[in-house]
Structure 1
Amino acid sequence: MPTARDPAADLQHALLTRLRLRQLSLLQAVDRHRTLGRVAAEMRLSQPAITKALREVEDIFGGRLFERTSRGLVPTPAGEAVLRYAQRWLAELEATTRVLTSLEAGRSGRLRLGLTQQVPQRLLSAALTHLLDRTPRMAVMTREGTTDELVAGLVARELDCAIGRSYDGDATGLVQEAIHEQEPCLVVAAKSVKRLSRGPLDWARLAELDWILPPPNTPMRRTYNAIFVGAGVQPPVPMLETTSIRSMETVLRTEPNAISILARDVVAEMEQAGHWAALPYRLSWNLPPVSFFTLKELEGHPMVQSLRAVVVATARGMQRKVG
């Protein structure tokens, strides 16, 4: 009696025996350019050769990965899934080559760390000191971005761990731990503090100022909009949308009515330059906690574990000092 076929097992066998890394690069190029002519030019092959190569890849995966439309070649649902995994596979390959190169250069390994702009300097210093003060030294790559961007980098295997705001989205395999609470404060130009702090906290009055807010559709922007709505005030149209501390500082230095919301401990670190200062109001809510992120598959890696331990210990020390 014939046994039932397992389509998943058949596909896995095809991938293991027939799929080549160059074919994954081809799929990324097709997705990037959306026309076979441009792909052929980039890969320095004829268009018929690229067409044949794409058909071979689609045959391996057992279905069409791209559809021809007026907008060029557009990924099918199957193509979208394959492209996501192709990105991960190629990112893992790139990471492996970097680690091997680091080992050959006498390093103890390589770690890729993501950071948000509002990570307190003390946490950042503790993390980098731990990673760089090793014998032999470790190669370290840091990348700054919003929490959403850092989580995307983790899922795409472009980062090993990250320190950012807590994340409430859906990310397969993501592990996060809240490590540090931050109090928000209203920050303005130092020369404007006295004028803008007259009277009680009034969100309607504050909404008329020149706001610096995170970009649209980010968790922090949604949080700030909810604060205004909860106070019965229409969220302001910002003068500047950014997460860059340097951009905020530049605008706050030059615009007398500029205002933003930042973590009080970050503002305290930056106040020493004298360009900005916190208004003397206490807000009745906390920012989403600073959190340590990694992937389930990397959670047990010795370097990730040791970095997490140092960051958590530093955060606890900061909280005890505040308390």
Structure 2
Amino acid sequence: MATARDPAAVLQHALLTRLKLRQLALLQAVDRHRTLGRVAAEMRLSQPAITKALHEVEDIFDAPLFERTSRGLLPTPAGDAVLEYARRWLAELEATAQVLTSIGSGRSGRLRLGLTQWVPQQLLSTALTHLLQGTPRTAVMTREGVTDELVAALMAGELDCAIGRSYDGPVTGVVQQAFYEQEPCLMVAAASVKRLSRGPLDWARLAQLDWILPPPNTPMRRTYNAVFVGAGVQPPQPLLETTSMRSIETVLRTEANAVCILARDVVAEMAQGGVVAALPYRLGWMLPPVSFFTLKQLEQQPAVVSLRAAVMQTARQMQAKARAAA
């Protein structure tokens, strides 16, 4: 007597036995160019050959992956899902090739690390020193960005781990561990501190200044907007939207009324150059904690475990020193 077969199991069998990596690369090329003629030119094949190859891939997945429109070939819902996994699979393949090349060069491997600029230099230095000065050394690829970008890169298989702010958005396969808390403070040009610190903390007055804020729809921008709203003040329209420390410092050099919120320990590092300084106010809240992110399947990998331990140990030492000095 015939029995019904699980459609997912049938599809999985087709993928295991028929799907080839070059077919995933073809899908990416179609998504990138959106016309078969351009794909054929890139891959140095005839357009009929590309058309046949695309039909073969769609037959494997048992679904149309692209539809013809006036704007070219656009992914169907099934195509979007397949492209997401194709990007991840090909990124993992590239990462594997890089790791093996590093091992072949006498290193212990290669680690792709995401970093946000808004954490103390001491933590960033610990991470890089730990990886680069080990025996044997680990080859490192770093990528800077805001936490949202770093988490997205982790989910896409483009990073192995990251140091950023705690993240409350939807994630799949990413684990995070908070390990360092920071107090925020208001940072202005050093020459403007005396003038801008007159009187008590007044968010209505501060909102009239020239604000430097993170880009819209980032966790920190949402945090700062909530602070203004909680004080009964409309969030200001920023003069500059950025997460770049160099851009922030440049604007503070030239704009006497410019102000931003950064972690107090980061401001202390920047203030050593004499260009910027903190206003003498306590804001009464804490920033989202600095957290260590990695993929669930990598969290027990020795390189990730040792890096996480080194960074967290430095964080404990920094916080102990700060408590002793308070």
TM-score range, shorter chain: over 0.9
- The Cα shift of 1:46 comes to 1.9
TM-score by length of 2: 0.97
Deviation at 1:147, TM superposition (A): 0.3
Once the two structures are superposed, residues 201-230 of structure 1 have per-residue CA deviations (whole angstroms, 9 ceiling, x without a partner) of 111111111111111111111111111111
Aligned mates of 1:71, 1:239 — CA distance in 2: 37
Q: What is the DSSP-based 3-state SS (H/G/I as helix, E as strand, rest coil) of the residue aligned with 1:164?
A: strand
Which amino acid in structure 1 is aligned with residue 89 of structure 2? W
Give the equivalent residue in structure 1 for 2:269: 269
| Cα distance in structure 2, aligned partners of 1:238 and 1:50 | 49
Secondary structure in 2 aligned to 1:273?
Answer: coil
How far does residue 3 in structure 1 lie from its aligned partner after superposition?
2.3
Q: Secondary structure at the match of 1:284?
A: coil
Q: For 1:200-279, list aligned pairs within 5 A.
A: 200-279=200-279
Q: Which moved more, 1:25-34 or 1:182-191?
A: 25-34
Structure 1 residue 51, shift from structure 2 partner: 1.3
Are residues 1:172 and 2:172 paired?
A: yes
Kindly provide the CA deviation profile for residues 35-88 of structure 1, in whole angstroms up to 9, marking residues without a partner as x. Answer: 222222222222222111111111100010111222221111111110110011
Unpaired segments of 5 or more residues in structure 1? none
What do you get for the CA RMSD once the two structures are aligned? 0.9
Distance 1:261 1:242 in 2: 12
Quote the Cα distance in structure 1 between the aligned partners of 2:215 and 2:206.
Answer: 19
**Equivalent residue, structure 1, for 2:315:** 315
Alpha-carbon distance in structure 2 between the residues aligned to 1:216 and 1:72: 31
Measure, in 2, the Cα distance between the counterparts of 1:321 and 1:281. Answer: 21
- Give the Cα separation in 2 of the matches to 1:241 and 1:37: 40
Which is further off, 43-52 or 115-124? Answer: 43-52
Give how far 1:25 is off: 0.9
Match of 1:28 in 2: 28
1:87-126 superposed matches below 5 A: 87-126=87-126
Alignment of 1:54-93 (within 5 A): 54-93=54-93
Kindly provide the CA deviation profile for residues 291-316 of structure 1, in whole angstroms up to 9, marking residues without a partner as x. Answer: 00011100110110011111111111
CA distance, structure 2, for counterparts of residue 250 and residue 159 of structure 1: 30
SS at structure 2 position matched to 1:25: helix
SS of equivalent to 2:24:
helix
Aligned residues: 323
